[in-house]
Structure 1
Amino acid sequence: MLRWLIPLIIIAVIEFYSFQAIRTVTKSKFILILYVVITVLVVSYLIYQFSQFDRSIGQTSKSLFTMGLFLIFVVPKIVISFVLFGEDVFRFFKAIIVHFVGDNDGGKFMPTRRRFVSQIALGLATIPFASLLYGITIGKYNFKVIKQTLFFPDLPDSFDGTTITQISDIHSGSFDNPEKIQYAIDLINEQNSDMVLFTGDIVNTHAKEMHPWIETFKKIHNPALGKFSILGNHDYGEYLEWDSEKEKEDNFEAIKDLHRQIDFKLLLNENVKIQKNSDSIRLVGVENWGKHFKKVGDLELASNDIASDEFKILMSHDPSHWDSVVQHDDKNYHLTLSGHTHGFQFGIEIPGWLKWSPVQYVYKQWAGLYENKGRYVYVNRGFGFHAYPGRVGIMPEITVIELKKGKKVA
C-alpha cells in the first residue's frame, strides 16, 4: 500500500490545482461536474491497470495505451500545477505584506486567485497535451531518413563511397500498423545501400512479438556487402519474471533465431571480414554492454584476430560502451554504430540550433554523431518505440552513412 501513497499524493495535488484552474476560468456547474466525472473515471482506470500489470507478461498493447493515457492526463496538469503553485507563492507573500498594512479582499488572508493566471496555465497545458497526442497518433511512425558523410584518411580505396543503412531498436512488440511498417521498409530499400546494419532490440521481451512482422522485414533488400545485426538489452528477457530459467533461455534462443529468419547475420562477440575488390574492412559485433544495463559484450573476444591498423566498424547497442571503453581502446575502432536511447522519444531538435532531450542527462552520446580524436560513434534514434507509445520531437530514424576516403574539407 505504501508504494501507492506517494503517487496518490502527487495525483491529489495536481488534481487540486487543475480543478482550481477550471473553477477560476468558468462558473458553469455542468463543466465542473463533467470535469470531475471524467477525472474520477480516468484515475480509476489508471489505478486499476497499473495494479494489474503482470511482470510475467510484460508490455502489451493495453499497457502501452495505459502509459500513453497516463502521460496525456498527467503531464498537462503538472504544468497547470506549477503555474498555480507559483501564483500561490506570490499570493502568500502578498498576503503577509498586506496583513501588516491593512485589510485586504474583504477580510480574507489570501488574495483571490486571478482568472488570467489560470487561463495562462490552461493555455500552457495545451502544449504538452497536443504534443503527446500528436506523438501517439502520428509521431511514432513519422520515419526520417538521416544522411551522414564521414571521412577517414585510412579508408581502403575500394570502400570510398560505400554506403551503410543503419536501423536500431525495432521493438516489434509495440507495432500496431502494418502499412506504416511496410512504408518504413520501403524507405530502407530506397536508400539502396551497400550494407544494412541493425543494432539491437528486435523485440520488447518475447520472440513471438516479431512473428507477425517476419515476412515484412525479410523484404529488406540483400545488399552487396550483406545484412548484419547484434543484440540489444531487451533481447535477453531481463525485464520479465519467468516461470523457469529454461523458459527464459528458450526465448533467448528463439530471439537469436529471428535474425536468421529475416536474413540478417547475427554477430555474437565476433567479427567478419568485408571484402571489396582487393581491399577489406572488419565489421565487429558485440553483445550488449551497457553502463546501466547488462554487460555481456566482449570487445576483446570479438576483435582477437584484428590488427590495430585495419579499418574497423563496430556495432554495439548501448552508446555508453563507446563512452566508457571503445573510444579509448588501442585497436582504434574508426566508427561505432549504436542505438538504445531512442532519444527518449521526446525532445526538441532544430538542426544547427538546438538538440535537447531529458536522456542527455543520462547518456553523453544520445542521438546523432559524436567524435573524439577521429573516432566516431553514431547513435540511431530508433526505429520503433517502447513504454510511451509515441514520439515527440525525436522521430524514428533510418540512418544512411557514406564512407569517404580523405579528410573533410572545412
Structure 2
Amino acid sequence: MSLALIFISVLLLPDLYILLAFFRRRRWWWALLHEVPLLLALASAGAWMGGVSAQWPGQLLFFVIVCFSLPKLVFSVLSLLVSGVALWAPQCRKPGLYFSLFVGGCMLLASVYGCSLGRHQLTVHQQELHFSDLPAAFDGYKIVQISDLHLGTYGHQTRFIERVVREVNAQNPDLIVVTGDLVNIKAEELVAFQSCLSQLHARDGVMTILGNHDYGTYGRFREADGQAKNLEKLKRGERALGWDLLLDEHRFIHRGTDSIALLGVQNIGAPPFPKMGSLEQALDGVDSHVFKILLSHDPSHWRMEVLPNSNIQLMLAGHTHAMQLKLGHWSPAIWKYPEWGGLYQEGDRQLFISTGIGGTIPFRLGAAPEICVLTLRK
C-alpha cells in the first residue's frame, strides 16, 4: 500500500501542481501535451500489472518516471519552496522559478543521457591483483571478467554486445569469466546473441556461473514446471556457446607444474535473493594449500560464508550494477551493499566486484558498462 501511494504521488501530484500553477490560463492542448508522459506511464503500468509478459511496459514506465516524473517532482518541490519564500521576499520569485526550472531541466537531460548514450559508454577497467602465495607460473595471468549482461534488455539489437565481444577478445585474455545474470528472465533472450557470444575466446576458455535472474524467478510461466524447463534451456544454451558452466564445481588450471583452482557456485545471496548453491560442494576435492579463485554472483556471499568458512584468496562477483548510478566514486548501492564495486581486501583475501554491462532497466548514469581486465601478480 505504501509503495502504491509513493508511486501515485510521484506520478500524479507534480503534474497536478504544474497544471494548476502554470497551465490554467493556457490553451487546453498545451495541458494535454504536458500530460502525454503521464498517460504513457499509466498505460504501461496498466499493461505491466495486467500480466503482459513482454518487458517493454516496465521499461517504458521506468523511462517516463526517471526522465519526466522525477524532474517534475523536484521542480514542483523547489517551486513550492520559492513560493513560500516569496511571501516575505517577492523579488525572489522569478529567480527562484528560473532556478527550479534549471535544476529540473538538468535532471531531465541527465536522465535522457542515462537512458540513451550512458548505457552504451563501454569502459575497460584495468586492475592488478597482488598475492604473496600466487604460484609463480601465474604471475601476469590475465582474467577478463564480464558480468550482468541482461541480454533481454537489448531485445534483438546485437550491436552493443558484439562490441563487448570484440573488446574482450582484444585484451588477449588467458581466461574469460562471466559472473551471472546473462538474461533477465527467459532463456530465449540468449538466442539472438548466440552467434556473437560464441566468438569469445581465451587460452583457458570461458567459465561462467548463474546469477539470481538466470533462474527465471521473476517471470511468469504458463506451465507448472515452466521455470525449471527455462533454467535447463538456459544451461544448454550457455554450454552450446562453448562456455564451461560451473554449478558448485571447480576446475584446475595448469601452467607447467603449477596450478590454481577456479571454483563456481550457483547463486548464494542475502535475502530476498535466493541461496541455490553450495560452497562446500564446490570446494570438495580441492586441497587447502591450492590457490583458489571463486566465481560467485552476489558479493554478499563474501562476508556471509567465504571469509569465515574458507581460505579462498580471490572472489569475483557482480550483481550490484552500482545501482546503475555513480557520482564520482559514490553510488547509492552502498546503502544496500558494503562492497558494491571494484576491489576490496580483508588481510590477504580479496573481493573484486564488476558493476556489469547491462541491467533489467535500460539506464546507466556514471556507472558505465565495464569490461574488467584483472592481472594476477605475485
Same fold, judged at TM 0.5 (above): yes
Report if aligned partners of 2:268, 2:276 keep a CA contact under 8 Å in 1.
Answer: yes
Deviation string for 1:51-99 (max 9, x for gaps)?
111686645234323321221011111221231243355457x59xxxx
**Could you tell which deviates more after superposition, 265-274 or 57-66?**
57-66
RMSD, aligned CA: 2.3
Matches within 5 A, 1:264-303: 264-292=243-271, 293-303=273-283
Q: Is residue 395 from structure 1 mapped to residue 374 from structure 2 by the alignment? A: no
Q: 3-state DSSP class of the match of 2:368?
A: coil
Report if aligned partners of 2:85, 2:92 keep a CA contact under 8 Å in 1.
Answer: no
Amino acid corresponding to residue 266 of structure 2 in structure 1: E
Match of 1:232 among 204, 211, 230: 211
> What residue number does 1:63 align with?
58
> What residue number does 1:142 align with?
121
Q: 3-state DSSP class of the match of 1:52?
A: helix
CA 1:252–1:59: 2 relative to 1, 3 Å: same
> What residue number does 2:377 align with?
404
Q: TM-score, normalised by structure 1?
A: 0.86
Amino acid corresponding to residue 355 of structure 2 in structure 1: R
> What residue number does 1:243 align with?
222
Give distance in 2, aligned partners of 1:10 and 1:278. 62
Matches within 5 A, 1:137-216: 137-176=116-155, 177-216=157-196
Give distance in 2, aligned partners of 1:139 and 1:21. 34
The Cα of 1:4 is off from its aligned counterpart by 5.0
Report if aligned partners of 1:343, 1:381 keep a CA contact under 8 Å in 2.
Answer: yes
Give distance in 1, aligned partners of 2:261 and 2:174. 15
Q: 3-state DSSP class of the match of 1:83?
A: helix
Match of 1:315 among 290, 295, 311: 295
Deviation string for 1:109-164 (max 9, x for gaps)?
xx698121111011011222111111122111111000000110100011010000
> What residue number does 2:349 align with?
375
Q: 3-state DSSP class of the match of 2:45?
A: helix
Q: 3-state DSSP class of the match of 1:211?
A: helix
Q: 3-state DSSP class of the match of 2:315?
A: strand
Q: Percent identity?
A: 32
Q: TM-score, normalised by structure 2?
A: 0.92
Report if aligned partners of 1:168, 1:339 keep a CA contact under 8 Å in 2.
Answer: yes
The Cα of 1:321 is off from its aligned counterpart by 0.7
The Cα of 1:2 is off from its aligned counterpart by 9.5
Deviation string for 1:270-312 (max 9, x for gaps)?
1111111111000010000110301012111110222222100
Q: 3-state DSSP class of the match of 2:126?
A: strand
CA 1:6–1:312: 2 relative to 1, 3 Å: closer
> What residue number does 1:102 align with?
none
Report if aligned partners of 2:18, 2:76 keep a CA contact under 8 Å in 1.
Answer: yes
Amino acid corresponding to residue 161 of structure 1 in structure 2: G
Q: Is residue 220 from structure 1 mapped to residue 200 from structure 2 by the alignment? A: yes
Give distance in 2, aligned partners of 1:5 and 1:137. 29
Give distance in 1, aligned partners of 2:299 and 2:219. 24
CA 1:191–1:83: 2 relative to 1, 3 Å: same
The Cα of 1:20 is off from its aligned counterpart by 6.6
Give distance in 1, aligned partners of 2:10 and 2:118. 29
Report if aligned partners of 1:169, 1:384 keep a CA contact under 8 Å in 2.
Answer: yes
The Cα of 1:225 is off from its aligned counterpart by 1.8
> What residue number does 1:8 align with?
8
**Could you tell which deviates more after superposition, 309-318 or 237-246?**
237-246
Q: Which runs of 5+ in 2 are unaligned?
A: none
> What residue number does 1:47 align with?
42
Report if aligned partners of 2:83, 2:93 keep a CA contact under 8 Å in 1.
Answer: no
> What residue number does 2:76 align with?
81
> What residue number does 2:99 align with?
120
Give distance in 2, aligned partners of 1:323 and 1:55. 40
Give distance in 2, aligned partners of 1:348 and 1:288. 29
Q: Is residue 347 from structure 1 mapped to residue 326 from structure 2 by the alignment? A: yes
Q: Which has the larger radius of gyration?
A: 1
The Cα of 1:207 is off from its aligned counterpart by 0.4
Amino acid corresponding to residue 64 of structure 1 in structure 2: Q
Q: 3-state DSSP class of the match of 1:29?
A: coil
CA 1:295–1:72: 2 relative to 1, 3 Å: same
The Cα of 1:341 is off from its aligned counterpart by 0.8
Give distance in 2, aligned partners of 1:34 and 1:131. 27
The Cα of 1:6 is off from its aligned counterpart by 4.9
Amino acid corresponding to residue 8 of structure 2 in structure 1: L
Give distance in 1, aligned partners of 2:241 and 2:318. 20
CA 1:398–1:253: 2 relative to 1, 3 Å: same
Amino acid corresponding to residue 344 of structure 1 in structure 2: M
Amino acid corresponding to residue 45 of structure 1 in structure 2: L
Report if aligned partners of 1:72, 1:132 keep a CA contact under 8 Å in 2.
Answer: yes
